[in-house]
Amino acid sequence: MKRLLVLLFVILSFSAKSFASNPPDEGMWLPMFIERLNYVDMQKEGLQLTPEELYSVNNSSLKDAIVGLASGSAPDGYFCTAEMISPKGLILTNHHCGYGNIQEHSTVEHDYLTDGFWAKSIEEELPNEGLTASFLISMQDVTEDVLAELNDDMSEQERSKAIEQVSKKLEKENSAKGRYDVTVKSFFAGNEFYLFVYETYKDIRLVGAPPSGIGKFGGDTDNWMWPRHTGDFSMFRVYTAPDGSPAAYSEDNIPMKPKHHLPINIKGIKEGDFAMVWGYPGGTQRYLTSWGVEQAIEKSSPTVVKIRDKKLDVMRKEMNADKEIDIMYAAKYAQTANYWKYFRGQIQGLKNLDVYDKKKKLEQKFTSWVQERDSRQDKYGEALSLIKEGFKIKDSVVIPLKYMDEALFKGGEFIMPSFQYLGLYMRLQKYHEEDKVGWKFWKVFKKSSKDTSIINPIARSLKASLDEQYENYDKEVDHKIFSALLKMYYENVSQEHQPEVLSKIEDEFDGNVEDYVDYIYENSLFVDKQKLSDFLDDPEFKEIENDPGLMFTQSLVSEIRDVFSTVQKAETKIAHGKRLFVDGLRKMNPDKKYYPNANSTMRVSYGTVEDYFPRDAVHYDFYTTLEGVIEKYDPSEKEFRAPKELLNLYEKKDYGRYAREDGKMPVGFITDNDITGGNSGSPVLNGKGHLIGTAFDGNWEAMSGDIAFEPELQRTINVDARYILFIIDKLGKADNLIEEMTIIE
């Protein structure tokens, strides 16, 4: 009888848990609609704040502590999220989000990547050129304003132009004469439109970062994996002018006084606790059809993986051989490796989870619904056929397109800069032709037809960008990368899509790609910063006329136009069909709450702290501890080295107030929140709006999550706030930072 009662208890417990997580916590929701769409559900799961405390335009609210990080002022593409954690402008994000900035300040003598960095005073904080932090002021539904300028008789091109015109008008009207960054964005495949107003700060300084043996512990091996033992965090500070307004870097600037900052809760977490994630997710494709899934599995994603695999191999060999190169290429390697592994996981996830078949079933249901009424047939009848036609067209160029992007544009670093010189080249060519026509006249008067009033400003502008273009660039390393990737392009892309200049490989170099690349790197101005700088001091056509780097770029431009013409034709059909399809889906299920795809606008996802069962007979707990770091520690493997100071703290069990109740030091935990790229650095908050962790990754089993959310498998990987404070306090000994935070024990 006792055994029966125990069994009954287990069954009831499991059923309760299953019910608690059903419906799944899917969705990246716009904060302005929380009260109408999500608030009741969030309260049931444990939220204790009011809608006004979450999102308010007129009063301080949680949204005011959420930061969009960008490389520039444009609010259209935040690469990561951060959160305000003190009343003195201190923000927290991921180590991999700050990696490039940490690298910029690192040298062989002061290797902050390897050793970490802690500013013990305001004066020691390091400025970061180009890094910006944006705060959302408000969001507004402007769908009626935009749709008023559109009609069903417009072509897709006419529609896009009209949307652009009305968007620019609205943006200008709401910018407060340039004080704010404003953008209008499309939602639900062009069926709705929202306006976002941001205030952007440009003086952002590096405050703290753990050693890579903590911030990148596990490296590529553990990337996208759980269990995880990475202390993936870094810290910056936002500065303002003395009057509190945004300003460029100045010694007179002061730490920002934010409208709201997040208290940090170190009481601990348990399974089932409420968790919400705020941030700027970059992009999802939840409304992708079966044809898009098929293309991803069979063509686009495998091509990216193949090319990046080769690029990483070349970079890894060069970095292992030279410490300076290792520092110089660290960020580039990390960026390349991150989505190399992501696309591998995506392919596997899409196949394992039968996403293609699920999309097909939805499309069949949609077709049946459309056919039920003539009015639906008239409006939505061509939706899926347009999408199908578009992907069929795109299929013919998707592989060449990926090779152009991954092997050429992200291969040789001379290509992107040389694009910017085409205008100067054509101007010099024009003057050169004029000189040939009137050379006798100009010779007599000892003049040149070259108009220096036009040429010199162009040259000065290009020269001013050289440092940025050739930052972290090594000619020999770039030579080897481009040689390997161009060979892949030459051997794997059909002749139809080979730039004409590659005929030189057969005609002049006996089919040897390496010899052709050698010729470029021996003779082009664009592979040598100093030579290019000297040219810009006094630009002459004869010096650039037959430059092999520029000739390659010119030929590539011509081929790109052909490919993009096909892509544009395909995307026009897909966009039209998708707009109808998404509109129809929402009308087909009027009682369902739909959320839009992520598009670098502020979103909220909510859920709970949860474990999961990735496959048969395997269970993953919801948390990890420092003991796992010690178990993985291997001084012979770069990815699994840890600082001696951390090992000493473990031996002494010197965890201070940050340990769990059982005495162990927490490192990471997982939740069932819905996130994607751009959410890196997002705050993970409890029901009171206290910070309990920082999101930094997704799990391998759900790499198809950008296309299809899988509630039983999808997890957000977070670094525990207690581990962050432990590292700052005990290892970094940065008491100054601990003291300015609001810590709840």
Catalytic residues: 96, 232, 680
At residue 493, the 3 state secondary structure works out as coil
Name the E strands within 519-639: 603-608, 612-615, 618-620, 623-625
| Pick from 483, 478, 466: nearest CA to 529 | 466
| Pick from 171, 136, 76: nearest CA to 279 | 136
CA distance 669 to 623: 4
Name the E strands within 653-690: 666-671, 683-685
| Pick from 490, 415, 413, 424: nearest CA to 455 | 424
| Contact (CB, 8 A) for 555 and 580 | no
Q: What is the gyration radius of the CA atoms in the chain, in angstroms?
A: 28
Work out whether the CA dihedral 571, 573, 577, 579 comes out positive or negative.
positive
Exposed/middle/buried for residue 492 (C-beta within 10 Å: 0-12, 13-18, 19+):
middle
CA distance 706 to 672: 14
| Contact (CB, 8 A) for 176 and 155 | no
Structure tokens at 297: 């599995």
| Pick from 544, 542, 543, 540: nearest CA to 452 | 540
Structure tokens at 705: 């999550």
688, amino acid identity: K
Report the alpha-carbon angle 674-714-711, nearest 5. 85
19, amino acid identity: F
| Contact (CB, 8 A) for 263 and 90 | no
| Pick from 410, 401, 404, 366: nearest CA to 385 | 366
Work out whether the CA dihedral 727, 66, 708, 390 comes out positive or negative.
negative
User: If you write DSSP's letter for every residue of 671-730 in order, what string do you get?
Assistant: E-----TT-TT-EEE-TTS-EEEEEEEE-GGGTTTTTS--TTT--EEEEEHHHHHHIIII
Cis before 23? omega within 30: yes
Cis before 227? omega within 30: yes
**Beta bridge partner(s), residue 82:** 67
| Pick from 220, 234, 216, 213: nearest CA to 101 | 234
CA distance 338 to 326: 17
| Pick from 499, 533, 702: nearest CA to 610 | 702
Cα 364 to chain centroid distance, Å, stands at 34
Count of CB atoms within 10 A of residue 472's CB? 16
Alpha helices in 122-274 (DSSP H): 143-147, 156-173, 212-215, 219-222
Structure tokens at 739: 């003291």
Cα torsion at 11, 12, 17, 21 (round to 10°)? 100
| Pick from 221, 251, 279, 98: nearest CA to 700 | 221
At residue 334, the 3 state secondary structure works out as helix
Report the alpha-carbon angle 726-730-734, nearest 5. 95
| Contact (CB, 8 A) for 292 and 692 | no
